Structure 1
Amino acid sequence: MMAVPLSVLEVAMVQTDANPVDTLRDTTEFAQKVEALGYRRLWYAEHHHSPAIGAFPPVVLIAHAAASTSSLRLGSGGVLAPNHAPIMLAEQFGTLAALHPDRIDLGIGRGPGTLHEPTARALRRGAGPITDDEYRADVAATLEYLVDEVALGTLPEPWLLVSSPAGAALAAALGLPAAFAHHIRPDNTTAAIDTYRTQFQPSRWCPGPRVLLCVETVCAGTQREADWLAGPMNVVKAALLQGRGDLSFPTPAEAAEHPFTDEERQALAGFRAHQAYGTPGEVGQRLSELVKATGAEELMLVTPVYRLEDRLRSYELVALSS
């Protein structure tokens, strides 16, 4: 049995034989199914200008999912501070929390959400990349606006998305619960969590360190099937290693024919070793090992596979075996 609660990160992959509208329609069924499976929360990630990932604003998806579910916590994982005025984030998520009390999370991240430079500049209205001081000021301002200006009653639960020791130090200084992007930068996880726990300062938001660990997870009836389902995301990852975000999300059959270089295969194998792929027993064991190694109080699973049915089946197998 899994010793900690399980949650879900949805990145809304757009299939090559579908369109973004189909992906949007799937989000309703997806939210209802993961709620029925007993997952604690469902977060949506902010992305832009990617043929493989829908550019759907998390705040809109959260509102829609909250209206079609009853107990599932909904949130951003994350909404990206460089792209939004702090007062707008506070107003949007404060309103959601007032409409859906004790169900809304505000997960804040730093990246632009795109590798396309013109899009990044457009999101920032022509400004350059955000500095460390600007990011800290934006997060602090968002928290202040939530308390001082929005004040609609029940507040959203704020989280900081962390992928480095520097991000961990900021979460600790602000006294925020931290969601660690183990599914993106697993090599940073141990040092970042150590920094967070060591430097944490209690706040009105969180009395002590609180760690959520996000893990890429693909669960199927056999290891071979899990490898097949993981293939499309491997193709996307290989492109990202080259700084490319322009690839569509291929089918598993297309991914099986993709000509990976030896360097890409090595990098993908190294990444995979930190995540959880395989049968329910194998995935459960790996997730338990990660909880033991990191002391995480909660796991968030991201499962970027091609078909909605396969994605839901993966979450079902993990939930039934936990």
Structure 2
Amino acid sequence: MIDLPLSALEVAMVQAGSRALETLRDTAEFARRLDALGYRRLWYAEHHHSPAIGAFPPVVLTAHAAASTSAVRLGSGGVLAPNHSPLMLAEQFGTLAALHPDRIDLGIGRGPGTFDEATARSLRRGPEPMTDDEYRASVVSTLRLLVDEVALGPLPEPWLLSSSTAGAALAAELGLPIAFAHHIRPDNTLAALDHYRARFSPSLWCERPRVLICVETVCAGTREEAARLAGPMNVVKAGLLKGRSDIPFPTPEEASAHPFTESERQALAGFGAHQAYGTPETVERRLTELATATGADELMLVTPVYALADRVRSYELVKQRATRSADARATP
């Protein structure tokens, strides 16, 4: 049994042949279904200028989902510091936390949320990429403003997103819980978490190290069906391996006919070995292994599959393998 709280990351894939409006409707329904299933958190990722991922602001999706759910925690995973002023982030998430007490998370990340340089320049606050010192100052300022200037009542729970040792070091220094992007940089996970725990300094926000790892997870009744459902995202990843971010999110049928090169197949297999794909038994075993290896306090699943029904079914199957007591034991 999976003996940890389970959460979800929503990346709002825009399916081939559909419109962004339909993706938004699916995203709203997904939140209601995850709430009913008893998932602990649902976070929204910030992306821009991609045909495969909707450019939907996390703060807007959080507000919309909070109005139609009752228990699941909601927030950003993450909202990206280079693209927003600290005061705006503090005001937005402080207001959400006041409207929905003890249900709002503020996950802060550093990336631009796009592979398009022109889009990145139009988003960031300044002509050059954010430096390490500027990123640290932005996070510190956002936290200070939450407490000192815009607190309306209960505060959002802040998290620092990371895919590197540098991000882990900042989370440790500031005493923040860390959400590690194992689904992006699995090769960095163990070293970064060791660094985080060894250097953690308690703070107002967190008394001890707290670790969430995000794992790409596709669960289905058979191994073959799970592989079929994972196919569309593999096409997108293969494009990224070539430096292309303009690949639409195809149907499973289109993905099954995609001509992957041998080097792409090897790279995708290497990445997949660090994630969790397959039957409920296989996924349970893999997530349990990852939880043990990383010492994670919580698992966040990202399931970029084509159809809403298949995506929800994957989360249902994984949830069935989790102990009922795990959520009750989770640190609030």
TM-score, with structure 2 as normaliser: 0.96
After superposition, residues 166-177 of structure 1 pair within 5 angstroms as: 166-177=166-177
TM-fit CA distance, 1:321: 2.0
Q: Within 2, Cα distance between the matches of 1:262 and 1:25?
A: 37
- Corresponding residue number in structure 2 for 1:293: 293
Query: Deviation per CA, 1:201-251, whole angstroms, max 9, x where unpaired?
Result: 000000010000100000000000000000000010111112211110001
Q: Within 2, Cα distance between the matches of 1:216 and 1:129?
A: 28
Moved more, 290-299 or 239-248: 239-248
Q: Within 1, Cα distance between the matches of 2:159 and 2:33?
A: 24
SS in structure 1 of the partner of residue 75 of structure 2: strand
RMSD: 0.7
Identity between Structure 1 and Structure 2 (%):
76
Deviating 4+ runs (over 3 angstroms) = none
SS in structure 2 of the partner of residue 56 of structure 1: coil
* Amino acid aligned to 1:38: G
SS in structure 1 of the partner of residue 247 of structure 2: coil
- Corresponding residue number in structure 2 for 1:75: 75
- Corresponding residue number in structure 2 for 1:178: 178
* Amino acid aligned to 2:192: A
Which ranges of structure 2 fall in alignment gaps of 5 or more residues?
Answer: 323-332
Which ranges of structure 1 fall in alignment gaps of 5 or more residues?
Answer: none
Answer yes or no: is 1:226 the counterpart of 2:232: no
- Corresponding residue number in structure 2 for 1:58: 58
- Corresponding residue number in structure 2 for 1:276: 276
SS in structure 1 of the partner of residue 149 of structure 2: helix
TM-fit CA distance, 1:129: 1.0
Query: Deviation per CA, 1:245-289, whole angstroms, max 9, x where unpaired?
Result: 111000111111111111111110110000000000100010000
TM-score, with structure 1 as normaliser: 0.99
Aligned length: 322
Query: Deviation per CA, 1:147-186, whole angstroms, max 9, x where unpaired?
Result: 1111111000000001000100000000000000000000
* Amino acid aligned to 2:135: Y
- Corresponding residue number in structure 2 for 1:138: 138
- Corresponding residue number in structure 2 for 1:254: 254
* Amino acid aligned to 2:178: A
- Corresponding residue number in structure 1 for 2:327: none
TM-fit CA distance, 1:125: 5.0
Q: Within 2, Cα distance between the matches of 1:245 and 1:138?
A: 28
After superposition, residues 120-199 of structure 1 pair within 5 angstroms as: 120-124=120-124, 127-199=127-199
* Amino acid aligned to 2:75: G
- Corresponding residue number in structure 2 for 1:119: 119
- Corresponding residue number in structure 2 for 1:235: 235
Q: Within 2, Cα distance between the matches of 1:7 and 1:126?
A: 34
* Amino acid aligned to 1:42: L
SS in structure 1 of the partner of residue 217 of structure 2: strand
* Amino acid aligned to 2:19: N
TM-fit CA distance, 1:126: 5.2
Answer yes or no: is 1:12 the counterpart of 2:21: no
- Corresponding residue number in structure 2 for 1:264: 264
Q: Within 2, Cα distance between the matches of 1:115 and 1:8?
A: 24
Q: Within 1, Cα distance between the matches of 2:111 and 2:234?
A: 21
- Corresponding residue number in structure 1 for 2:99: 99
Q: Within 1, Cα distance between the matches of 2:125 and 2:286?
A: 43
Answer yes or no: is 1:44 the counterpart of 2:37: no
- Corresponding residue number in structure 2 for 1:24: 24
- Corresponding residue number in structure 2 for 1:90: 90
Flag the 1:125–1:90 CA change in 2: closer, same or farther, 3 A. closer
